[in-house]
Amino acid sequence: METGVLLALLAILVPIVLGPFTYLVEKISAKARTIYAVALGFITGGLTLSLIPYITEGTVESFMWIPGAGRIAFSVCLDSFSVVVAIVAGVIGALVLLFSIRYMKPASQEYSLSRYYWQALLFIGGMIGLALTSNLLVMYVFWEIIGFCSYALIAYYYHKPESVPAGIKAFIVTRIGDIGLLAGILILWHATGTLNIFEIMSASQAGLISFTLLGLAGAGFLAGAIGKSAQFPLHVWLPDAMAAPTTITALIHAACLVNAGIYLLVRSYPIFAALAWWPTALLWIGAITALMAATIALTQWDIKRVLAYSTISQLGYMMAAIGVGALLASQFHLVSHAIFKALLFLGAGSIMCMTGGIKDLHQMGGLAKYMPITRITFIFGLLSLVGIPIWTGFFSKDMIMSSLLQGGAYIPLALLVIATFFTAAYSWRMYWLAFQGEKRTSTEVHESPPQMTGPLIILALGSFLFWLCISPYTASMAFSLPVGYHIMPMSLAALIQHSFTSPIIVVTVAIIVTLIVLTLKWRATVINTYQKPSALTLPLFRAYWIDIFYNRVIVKSLLSFCQQFRRLQTGDLNYNNLAIAIGLVIFLIMLFALGVY
Amino acid sequence: MNLWQLYIAAIVILLGIGIYCLISRRNLIQLIIGVEVIAKAVSLSFILAGNLQGNEQIAQAIVVTIILIEAVSTAVALSLIVAAYRHTGSLDINILKRLRG
């Protein structure tokens, strides 16, 4: 076996197989368990990083793990897309686990931390597995593993009333998309006779798949990605997922879960590029979601909800970029978003941990004096999110918007530009409410310990400096990906020249001016705003009533429909078994009647 | 009569006995036995299908897996029955129908 394949398998198996042993290590001591789990996280992160020299094109090796079912081979692929997504999951996952040591300490009184650590490790391992395989069915298995982990971890604080419903909601809403994805995979299997994504790709490019089947499969993949990456209309689970521990929210938003949908679409883009409507749908869904979520974020008071809507909005940017075929821009923004969003969530976690769990922006304020490191790193994250030169977010966002401009998608571009202004506004508001003005909480606040500020500083440096890696990053993409992805290598000088000379720079300048004006003129009004939402902001505050609409219309009617069948449930097992037996007989009669024999 | 038809007959008989047991019995232990008998019918049908297709290794691998899973599920079911017996003091299935599931 090649070294690269071995390392890839280790990166998948170390967190998944060794994770459950946290329960055994706990028998020694709680401290040993924590060290064990964090060490596993760092080993995984190191293993994903060690894959970089082995980046190569196509499927590297296939393992026939079910004899006779060669199509369901566990095939490892180590091209630049998969390795980069695996590194994001592994490295950010390790930092989050390091941050958890202190953050999760108060929870250990009531909840099992061994459960927390093994599920987090399973989550990371599942995401790495999803990234590193080129077999669609195996990918789907990992897709479900991370779906389960998100459910279990969102419901982690199961004594809190909002946690378990939020977990179930996340699971059911993403499941709607998952069914589409499974159907899409099976349709592609039926049409091409293979499950390897590269073989399907060449079959599709050779025109061997009929347009009807391709369209159905494309719709299924789109549904799966919309569910997992929380795009309109299936975005409703993500804000509720804030019931999870903040560290897990950082994992979901940055390292693991939401990237999966974008990654799937980027991967399968060459398969469906022949369909005219498919990229257009992505473009519009992305642009609408980006604007909608950014406006909602402007009015929320829970700091984690602001960040959640910000994630939805940023994922919309990535989706729109895929829609014009700018896969490099989408992946670049995925990485830069992962870094700064992990930073922002961990920063919010640092605030919550030190103030005793306050997440309401009403009660924060004035934290700048007490938490200098958290404040500086948080500013770094926000500058990257808003897209101020020379933070990474500026380059990635600029790349997305200029590719939309080149692609001639003017109306979606306009939506994204407006969304960018809203992004600047809500970031600015969040910062001023949390860190500036008067201190409004009575608890004593001080700076977080080093195991919390350490990850923050690393991520802040990452969000500041990652764009310097653009040249090796794009070069590895260009040589390791098939031609269908249309990725050209880009040097650092070309990136700088491209970013500062494209027309989008006007938007950036306008945003900087806006921020300065906001700071000079409107600071006092915003900080002292406690008033109720007005008629203008109420729809934003209530997230356009989409949640309430789903609840009243879909959930309620489904429940009342199911209530009709309640009387069939007698609870008598013998009757149930009899019904099963009758069903079996009817099925057999149907088989004979249809002449299967 | 071919040999495989005898096998089919055995499968059908085992399945019938198992289903009859599930329908007519109320004792939890007897229900487990019924489930086991049905599982045996399934294993036998895998062996037969593997033999008819000339693909015996896969059939044997699957049957070994089935036996393993059966053992695990039976262990779980028996432990549940012990817990239910401690809770209700009876092995009758109808006492457990309070949830009407």
What does the DSSP assignment read for A189-253?
A: HHHHS--BHHHHHHHHHTT-S-HHHHHHHHHHHHHHHHHHTT-TTSTTHHHHGGGS-HHHHHIII
Contacts 24+ apart (CB under 8 A), A24-28: A26/A113, A26/A114
Q: Residue B26 and residue A574: Cβ atoms within 8 Å?
A: yes
Q: Which domain holds residue B77?
A: 27-92
Q: Residue B101 and residue A570: Cβ atoms within 8 Å?
A: no
Please tell me chain A's helix, strand, coil percentages from 3-state DSSP, rounded to the nearest 5: 75, 0, 20
Q: Which residue of A has its CA nearest to B25?
A: A574
The pLDDT confidence band at residue A565, using thresholds 50, 70 and 90, is confident
Indicate whether B14 pLDDT > 90: yes
The pLDDT confidence band at residue A495, using thresholds 50, 70 and 90, is confident
Round to whole Å and give the CA distance between A573 and A577: 6
The pLDDT confidence band at residue A142, using thresholds 50, 70 and 90, is very high
Least confident of A142-146, A399-403, A450-454, B95-99: B95-99
Tell me which residue has tokens 């401009």: A405
Q: Residue A573 and residue B97: Cβ atoms within 8 Å?
A: yes
Q: With contacts defined as CB-CB under 8 Å, which chain A residues touch B94?
A: 572-573
Least confident of A8-17, A113-122, A128-137, A493-502: A493-502
- Give the pLDDT confidence of A415-426 residue by residue, as tens digits: 999 999 889 888
Q: With contacts defined as CB-CB under 8 Å, which chain B residues touch A574?
A: 22-26, 93
Q: What is the pLDDT of residue A554?
A: 86
B7 inside domain:
no
Round to whole Å and give the CA distance between A386 and A258: 20
What does the DSSP assignment read for B24-64?
A: H--BHHHHHHHHHHHHHHHHHHHHHHHHHHT-HHHHHHHHH
B11 inside domain:
no
- What is the token pair recorded at B4? 């495989």
Q: What is the pLDDT of residue A525?
A: 65
Q: What is the pLDDT of residue A532?
A: 64
Distance from CA of A67 to the nearest CA of B (A): 7
pLDDT (average), residues B25-30: 90
The pLDDT confidence band at residue A231, using thresholds 50, 70 and 90, is confident
Least confident of A129-143, A228-242, A441-455, B47-61: A441-455
Q: What is the pLDDT of residue B34?
A: 92
- Give the pLDDT confidence of A298-327 residue by residue, as tens digits: 888 888 888 999 999 999 999 999 988 888
- What is the token pair recorded at A74? 């566990």
Distance from CA of B22 to the nearest CA of A (A): 6
pLDDT (average), residues A276-296: 90
The pLDDT confidence band at residue A483, using thresholds 50, 70 and 90, is confident
Q: Which residue of B has its CA nearest to A571?
A: B100
Round to whole Å and give the CA distance between A2 and A51: 12
B45 inside domain:
yes
Q: Residue B100 and residue A569: Cβ atoms within 8 Å?
A: yes
Supply the pTM of this predicted model: 0.84
Q: What is the pLDDT of residue A365?
A: 74
Round to whole Å and give the CA distance between A509 and A424: 12
Q: Which residue of A has its CA nearest to B99?
A: A571
Q: Residue A577 and residue B19: Cβ atoms within 8 Å?
A: yes
Indicate whether B67 pLDDT > 60: yes
Q: With contacts defined as CB-CB under 8 Å, which chain A residues touch B55?
A: 68
pLDDT (average), residues A417-437: 86
Closest among A548, A495, A486, A440 to A327, alpha carbons compared: A486
B92 SS3 class: strand
Indicate whether A147 pLDDT > 70: yes
Which residue in A67, A572, A573 is closest to B57 by CB distance? A67
Indicate whether A411 pLDDT > 60: yes
pLDDT (average), residues B66-85: 92
Q: What is the pLDDT of residue A197?
A: 87
Q: Residue B100 and residue A578: Cβ atoms within 8 Å?
A: no
Indicate whether A97 pLDDT > 80: yes
Closest among A20, A23, A34, A80 to A54, alpha carbons compared: A80
B5 inside domain:
no
Enumerate residues 63 to 92 of chain B having a beta carbon within 8 A of any beta carbon in chain A: none
Indicate whether A65 pLDDT > 80: no
> Residue A58's CB: how many other CB atoms inside 10 A?
16
The pLDDT confidence band at residue A242, using thresholds 50, 70 and 90, is confident
- Give the pLDDT confidence of A159-180 residue by residue, as tens digits: 888 888 888 888 988 888 899 9
B34 inside domain:
yes
Average model confidence (pLDDT) for chain A? Answer: 86
Q: In terms of pLDDT, which residue wins out, B60 or A482?
A: B60
The pLDDT confidence band at residue A70, using thresholds 50, 70 and 90, is low
Q: What is the pLDDT of residue B78?
A: 93
Q: What is the pLDDT of residue A529?
A: 56
Distance from CA of A568 to the nearest CA of B (A): 9
Round to whole Å and give the CA distance between A434 and B63: 62
Q: What is the pLDDT of residue A533?
A: 64
Residue pair A446/A354 in contact by the 8 Å Cβ criterion: yes
Q: Residue A577 and residue B99: Cβ atoms within 8 Å?
A: no
- Give the pLDDT confidence of A338-377 residue by residue, as tens digits: 999 999 999 888 888 888 777 777 777 777 778 888 888 9
B54 inside domain:
yes
A-B contacts (CB, under 8 Å):
36
Q: Residue B97 and residue A572: Cβ atoms within 8 Å?
A: yes
The pLDDT confidence band at residue A542, using thresholds 50, 70 and 90, is confident
Q: With contacts defined as CB-CB under 8 Å, which chain A residues touch B60?
A: none
- What is the token pair recorded at A47? 């293993």
Indicate whether A515 pLDDT > 90: no
pLDDT (average), residues A266-273: 88
B75 inside domain:
yes
Q: What is the pLDDT of residue A315?
A: 92
pLDDT (average), residues A101-123: 87
Residue pair A183/A164 in contact by the 8 Å Cβ criterion: no
The pLDDT confidence band at residue A530, using thresholds 50, 70 and 90, is low
Closest among A201, A197, A221 to A209, alpha carbons compared: A201
Q: What is the pLDDT of residue B68?
A: 94
pLDDT (average), residues A8-22: 89
Q: Which residue of A has its CA nearest to B16?
A: A581
Is any Cβ of chain A less than 8 angstroms from the Cβ of B94? Answer: yes
Least confident of A239-243, A325-329, A536-540, B77-81: A536-540
Least confident of A62-76, A361-375, A487-501, B52-66: A62-76
Closest among A447, A468, A457 to A343, alpha carbons compared: A457
Round to whole Å and give the CA distance between A461 and A391: 10
Which residue in B19, B25, B99 is closest to A571 by CB distance? B99
pLDDT (average), residues B14-29: 90
B85 inside domain:
yes
Which residue in A67, A569, A581 is closest to B19 by CB distance? A581
Round to whole Å and give the CA distance between A209 and A204: 6
Q: Residue B58 and residue A570: Cβ atoms within 8 Å?
A: no
Q: With contacts defined as CB-CB under 8 Å, which chain A residues touch B93?
A: 573-574
Say what percent of chain A tops pLDDT 90.
Answer: 20
Q: With contacts defined as CB-CB under 8 Å, which chain B residues touch A578?
A: 23
The pLDDT confidence band at residue A43, using thresholds 50, 70 and 90, is very high
Domain count, chain B: 1
Report the residue of A64, A65, A568, A577 to disrupt the B interface, i.e. the one with the largest count of B CBs within 10 Å.
A577
ipTM over the 0.85 cut-off: no
Q: What is the dihedral of CA A390, A391, A394, A399, to 10 degrees?
A: 90
